[in-house]
């Protein structure tokens, strides 16, 4: 399986580290906005080609599939371009930053029959898989999820603390993780409400946001998001169920009393990004739809679109 990576920033390298652990996978092309960064990352991971334009990778015969870790605003257009070129594609979360663009990507995936998967990592983290397995087995029903997504990003910086060429977004990126996970664990979302704080004068986005969700099963979710939080960073999920309470912190899981839960054997790896990439490769090889295919996560973007309408109406 020959892979091209577009977007060689902090998250792109996480994918490349994960792909290293998958048998029969070769990185053949690395694309980045800066030629020197693309060449450096290509050399580090043994890719024979590097460049600054996605079209360069799409024109290559030694590329079977593409992983897009590019700016959010490019995701939909680039995913469609990959499929038009006959390449399978994994788009990092979010799929798009509008409901219309999300639907367009789905239409192209249905037209081509190619694997089009979205990087909804929470479906793959061992912590959330453990909870999902309990739900599927009938051993747990979620009553409420309480989620905090907190960062300190008053400037355009990536996870490495390096300047970013684009602006991140609490609703279309960070909320997408939780909206999809809540639906994955509890069923279709039937109610959604949001409020946001002041718009940042330079970044042009809300730096604080609160979202409430309700699923068809009656479960509720409260999500708090902030780019102003100068404290413990990351996303923390509290599952309040009928038989147990769990707190998930990325790939780790504890009980409501902070007792560590052994996740050995839940998955073949304890790295959510690697597991996400394993699913992408396996779906292509097996000719099947992956967990977090564009079709399976599409309803998340319907909800985000509805929330955006609410927020715009609030002024």
Number of domains in the chain: 2
Same domain, 132 and 19: no
Rg of the chain over Cα atoms, rounded to whole angstroms, equals 19
> What does the pLDDT average to over 234-243?
96
Identify each DSSP E strand in the chain by its residue range. Answer: 2-6, 26-31, 49-51, 65-68, 88-92, 116-119, 142-150, 189-196, 208-215, 220-226, 234-241, 245-249, 252-255
pLDDT at 85: 98
Same domain, 146 and 261: yes
For residue 69, give its domain range: 2-119+273-291
The pTM assigned to this predicted structure is 0.94
Same domain, 158 and 307: yes
Same domain, 32 and 167: no
Same domain, 243 and 183: yes
pLDDT at 201: 86
| CATH code assigned at 43 | 3.40.50.720
Same domain, 107 and 215: no
Neighbours of 231 (CB within 10 A): 7
Same domain, 99 and 220: no
- When pLDDT is cut at 50, 70 and 90, the band that residue 160 belongs to is low
pLDDT at 202: 83
Same domain, 217 and 308: yes
- Contact between residue 121 and residue 182 where contact means Cβ atoms under 8 Å apart: no
Convert 183-218 into a string of H (helix), E (strand) and C (coil).
HHHHCCEEEEEEEECCECCCCCCECEEEEEEEECCC
Same domain, 101 and 183: no
| CATH code assigned at 189 | 3.30.360.10
> What does the pLDDT average to over 5-25?
95
pLDDT tens track for 189-211:
999 999 999 998 888 889 999 99
Same domain, 179 and 35: no
Same domain, 136 and 215: yes
> What does the pLDDT average to over 101-111?
98
Same domain, 24 and 148: no
């Amino acid at each position: 399986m020959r892979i091209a990576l577009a977007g060689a920033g902090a998250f792109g390298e996480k994918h490349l580290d994960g792909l290293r652990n998958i048998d029969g996978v070769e990185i053949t092309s690395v694309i980045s906005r800066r030629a020197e960064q693309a060449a450096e990352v290509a050399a580090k991971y043994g890719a024979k080609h590097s460049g600054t334009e996605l079209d360069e990778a799409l024109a290559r015969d030694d590329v079977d599939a593409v992983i897009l870790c590019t700016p959010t605003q490019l995701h939909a257009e680039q995913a469609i371009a990959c499929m038009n070129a006959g390449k399978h594609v994994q788009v990092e979360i979010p799929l798009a930053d509008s409901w219309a663009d999300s639907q367009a990507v789905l239409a192209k995936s249905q037209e081509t029959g190619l694997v089009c998967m979205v990087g909804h990592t929470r479906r793959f983290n061992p912590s959330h898989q453990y909870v999902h397995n309990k739900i599927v087995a009938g051993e747990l029903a979620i009553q409420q999820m309480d989620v905090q997504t907190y960062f300190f990003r008053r400037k355009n910086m990536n996870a490495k603390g390096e300047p970013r060429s684009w602006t991140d977004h609490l609703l279309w990126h960070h909320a997408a993780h939780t909206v999809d996970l809540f639906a994955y664990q509890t069923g279709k979302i039937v109610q959604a409400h949001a409020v946001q704080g002041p718009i940042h004068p330079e970044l042009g986005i809300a730096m604080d946001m609160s979202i409430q969700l309700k699923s068809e099963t009656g479960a509720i979710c409260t999500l708090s998001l902030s780019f102003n939080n100068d404290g413990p960073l990351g996303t923390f999920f509290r599952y309040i169920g009928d038989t147990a309470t769990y707190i998930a912190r990325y790939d780790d899981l504890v009980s409501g009393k902070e007792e560590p839960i052994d996740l050995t054997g839940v998955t073949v790896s304890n790295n959510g990004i690697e597991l996400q990439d394993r699913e992408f490769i396996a779906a292509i090889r097996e000719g099947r739809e992956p967990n977090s295919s564009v079709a399976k996560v599409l309803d998340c973007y319907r909800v985000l679109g509805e929330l955006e309408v609410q927020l715009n109406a609030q002024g």
